[in-house]
A and B are shown apart, each in its own frame.
Chain A
Amino acid sequence: MEGLTDMAPLIEVKDLAFQYSAHRGNVFQNVSFTVEKGEMLTLLGPNGAGKSTLLNCIAGLASPTEGSVKLNGEPVESYSTRRLAKHIGYVRQHIAVTYGYTVREYLVMGAAPRIGMFSTPKEEDYERVEEAIVDLELQKLADRTVSHLSGGERQRVAVARSIVQNPEVILFDEPTSALDFGNQIRVMRTCKQLVERGYAVVMTTHNPDQPILLGGRVAMLNADGTLAVGDAETTLTSERLSELYGTELHLVYVDEVDRVACVSSKL
């Protein structure tokens, strides 16, 4: 059994389908892909394609209508909330903060999966928070109130919280969609560095340039609810992207930055 678990991919999504209600039809169907340990996977798709729902299914926050999600060979439903959080970290689009918690107070909440119902954080949890602060260079933000931070700062704080959680895979739900250009690049750099350090990262985006920048694998969630998966270089083509977004898009090589970029035609 032990050997089998070792062989199993970190996350295995099989024939997944989801619908909110029968008369509205499936948001997506026949979605299958795997995520290996330490891998970067970008989920690309237009608005409303069901990217966030798909992430919620992986994180155990939504129940798929059909199909299964397995984590280390076991169905996610069989994990308790607490055990699941030891494997999966989830950085959501917005952190809704009702009260004036400081960044430090927020970060230590990442230790929640290791803390019992009637317990409080231990010394080592606070040490881990300090490490994460140094790690993500949050020293200047550490005593600020989370609700006073800008979108980009909040993203970084949420990433630090996942690091405190110490999972195997970190899910990012549209981490760049509310950020300015500089912060978008910074968040993607963080994602890449997380992968370099051994975390698997699954990130959703509607910007086709991002999977090119990030490398790794890409899963394109089409408007008809089906999925195409593969390496970013081979899977992303001008034709596919144009079809996906319903507008003319081109992949062109840009000399100055030595990479392919996705650009649209003239308006």
Chain B
Amino acid sequence: MPGVASGLTYEGNASAATVLPNSPGTAEEVEAAFGRKVPAWVAVALVVMLLVLVGISYAIGRFAVPVNELVSGVLTHFFRPELIDPASAAYSVEAERIDRVIFNIRGPRILLVCLVGAALACAGASYQGMFKNPLVSPDILGSSAGASMGACLAMLLNLPGFYIQVFAFVGGLAAVSLAVLLNRLVKYDPTLGLVLGGILVSSLFSSGTSFIKLVADSQDQLPTIQFWLMGSFNRVDSDDLLLAVVPLVVGFVILMIMSWRLNVLSFGDDEARAMGVNTRSTRLLVIFASTMLASVSVAVAGIIGYVGLVVPHLARAIVGPNYKVLLPTSMFVGAAFLLIIDNIARVAFAVEIPIGILTAIVGVPFFVVIFRNQMRGWK
């Protein structure tokens, strides 16, 4: 095999350094905008930002726990459990109240918001790479529509919370599998075929949801379904957390260890194959993991749009497109973003607003700004 030995020579390399007349900035500006080396302070800043947000989330709203009480409450929980044990002589009603807020009420909610935000962002970023399309979101293959219909069906049957999650997950997987199957049957361009399959399946499952709403009891079930579809973390508890955490972590791990391949995949099917990547198996794995993340998110909190679309762009603006660093960054930014939105949903008005409504209100202008800046970088 030929080695890399003597240099190939070029004449007229002067053109190499000149910037294209149409490009908006100098090479340095572009480089700065897409700063390749992710400085350690970015990683630290992301972690600190999330921790601060968690602290704020505890400190505001009903049953507020200020930072000092939060710290002492956590210490009490682990080092002085007798204070919160009603059987103990040292039992304090106040300490137990704080403990319950930290670990049973606010804690699971904050953790789930972070996990779902990270999941939607991670799935969105992966899909944007796989479909080499920056306008793609995690529900492109119908996972949200499928998961919604599954969950609504469980609510129609008056099944308890656990089954709503299971039905949602099965519905999401079923929808995406159907989209993949349609793509196989049609034998069209593999990427475009998937998207078309996703659109068809989405509308199919959406009509299924409409039908469920039609037959649901309009006094009792319909409002529940309606509110749930708008998305909310209002009723999550530690059971939801336990149920969601395993599939979410599995999804995260699969996507993280495949992250570098997503770079190659983002150059399109033929190019990726010419570079020696088995696009079919890679794509299926990415679809599986992303569907898992998206469906579980829907199962936990209903339909939350725009996080999967907007956050990866924000992350890309911070660390560039390399999926090795983009995925973890997206997860942190997604968690922080959804936590902010959830806090607004909780405290902005007397009644809690469904988070899906807020993500759309915040997401749309946000998206316009980011997209405008990013497009300058790409083209």
Contacts and interface: CB of A to CB of B under 8 A. Distances in A.
B274 A61 contact: yes
Given A82-B278, A92-B271, A100 B320 contact: yes
Nearest to B257: A118
Interface string B316-335: 10001110100000000000
Contacts of A137: 7-10, 13, 16
Contact of A165 (B133, B258, B267, B275): B275
B129 to A, nearest CB: 8
Interface in A135-158: 135-138, 140-141, 143-145, 147-150, 152-153, 156
Interface string A43-87: 000000000000010011100000000000000000011111110
Interface residues of A, number: 70
Interface of A: 38, 56, 59-61, 80-86, 88-90, 92, 95-102, 104-105, 109-110, 112-113, 115, 117-121, 128, 131-132, 134-138, 140-141, 143-145, 147-150, 152-153, 156, 161, 163, 165-166, 168, 182, 186, 189-190, 193-194, 197-199
B273 A81 contact: yes
A149 to B, nearest CB: 8
Q: Label chain B's interface by main secondary structure.
A: loop
Contacts of B7: 134-135, 137
A85 B273 CA distance: 8
Interface of B: 1-13, 15-17, 19-20, 23, 27, 30-31, 33-34, 36, 129, 132-134, 257-261, 263-264, 266-268, 270-279, 281-282, 285, 316, 320-322, 324, 374, 377-379
A96 B4 contact: no
B2 A99 contact: no
A96 B378 CA distance: 11
Given A96-B268, A101-B321, A198 B2 contact: yes
B329 to A, nearest CB: 14
The residue in A135, A143, A148 that gathers the most chain B C-beta atoms within 10 A of its C-beta is A148
B1 A166 contact: yes
B378 A113 contact: no
B275 A99 contact: no
